[in-house]
């Protein structure tokens, strides 16, 4: 989902901007007062009021005009409020604000957070598998062996159960090396592809019989 989609969802109330800010403001390094200011500004924007007036905004808050002005300046410096010059219908220009970068930053934080959780989960599984392999092989794994386990998780997307089953099979026949386990996993993949192909072919054959 990109910023255009999010802005569209905000404008038609599919995404609640207030909830978006309240759930993320602390991750942006701003406090509750700044969060309320941004929510108030979005309310102004929704009413097509795009010129920021410290005195007008202060009326909506419990802080003075001076404090409102200072906080606005800080939010602009951080990029959360962006200013631009726009031309009105009568040909005159005016200063206008938007919160595009703020929304973009929240999206980026969310993406990084999700990826961080995924990487942390893979790292935990990797450590667990390294320990398991070293216990079964009765020796420390090499750097190359550990890189292979990482590849299984991050690139091949094997589950812990897939790898554990392949390890069990290798240990059962006393083939105590990563290469052999990798071969078992590849063999399993090929069988799966072949099984899917056969199933597709069978459906195709039935269709031909039906048409005849």
- In the prediction, which pLDDT does 13 show? 74
Per-residue pLDDT, 104: 85
Structural domains in the chain, sorted by start: 3-98 (1.10.10.10), 116-211 (no CATH)
Question: Rounded to an integer, what distance in angstroms lies between the CA atom of residue 106 and that of residue 143?
Answer: 37
- Between CA 106 and CA 79 the distance in angstroms is 13
Q: Tell me: pLDDT of 133 over 60.
A: yes
**pLDDT tens-digit series, residues 177-212:** 999 999 999 988 766 655 554 444 444 443 443 344
pLDDT, position 191: 61
Return the pLDDT at 8: 77
Model confidence at 92, pLDDT cuts 50, 70, 90, reads confident
Residue 172 is predicted with a pLDDT of 93
Pull the structure tokens for residue 143. Answer: 């750097």
11-39, pLDDT tens digit by residue? 777 888 999 899 899 888 999 999 999 99
pLDDT, residue 103, reads 86
So what's the pLDDT on residue 15?
A: 82
CA–CA separation, 49 and 212 (whole Å) = 69
**Amino acid 112: pLDDT:** 62
- Residues 126-144, mean pLDDT to the nearest whole number: 90
pLDDT reported for residue 194: 54
Mean pLDDT of the chain: 82
Per cent of the chain over pLDDT 70 is: 82
Task: Record the pTM.
Answer: 0.52
Confidence at 116, pLDDT banded by 50, 70, 90 = low
Asked whether the beta carbons of 185 and 163 are under 8 A apart, the reply is: yes
- 93 DSSP β-pair partners: 87
Higher pLDDT, 110 or 162: 162
Each residue of 30-79: pLDDT tens digit?
999 999 999 999 999 888 888 888 999 999 999 999 999 999 999 999 99
Q: What's the confidence (pLDDT) of residue 201?
A: 44
Q: Each residue of 125-152: b (16+ CB within 10 Å) or e?
A: bbeebbeebeeebeeebeeebbebbbeb
Mean pLDDT, residues 154-174 taken together:
92
């Amino acid at each position: 989902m990109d910023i255009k989609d999010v802005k569209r969802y905000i404008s038609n109330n599919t995404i609640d901007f207030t909830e978006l800010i309240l759930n993320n403001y602390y991750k942006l390094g701003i406090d509750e007062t700044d969060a309320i200011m941004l929510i108030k500004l979005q309310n102004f924007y929704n009413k097509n009021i795009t010129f920021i007036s410290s005195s007008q905004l202060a009326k909506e808050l419990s802080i003075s005009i001076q404090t409102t002005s200072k906080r606005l300046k800080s939010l602009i410096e951080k990029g959360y409020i962006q200013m631009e010059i726009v031309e009105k219908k009568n040909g005159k220009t005016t200063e206008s604000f938007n919160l595009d970068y703020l929304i973009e930053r929240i999206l980026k934080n969310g993406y990084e957070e999700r990826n961080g959780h995924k990487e942390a989960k893979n790292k935990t599984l990797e450590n667990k598998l390294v320990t398991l392999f070293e216990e079964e092989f009765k020796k420390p794994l090499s750097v190359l062996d550990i890189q292979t386990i990482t590849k299984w998780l991050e690139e091949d997307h094997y589950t812990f159960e897939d790898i554990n089953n392949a390890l069990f099979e290798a240990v059962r026949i006393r083939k105590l090396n990563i290469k052999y386990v990798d071969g078992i996993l590849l063999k399993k993949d090929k069988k799966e592809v072949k099984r899917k192909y056969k199933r597709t072919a069978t459906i195709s054959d039935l269709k031909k019989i039906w048409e005849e």
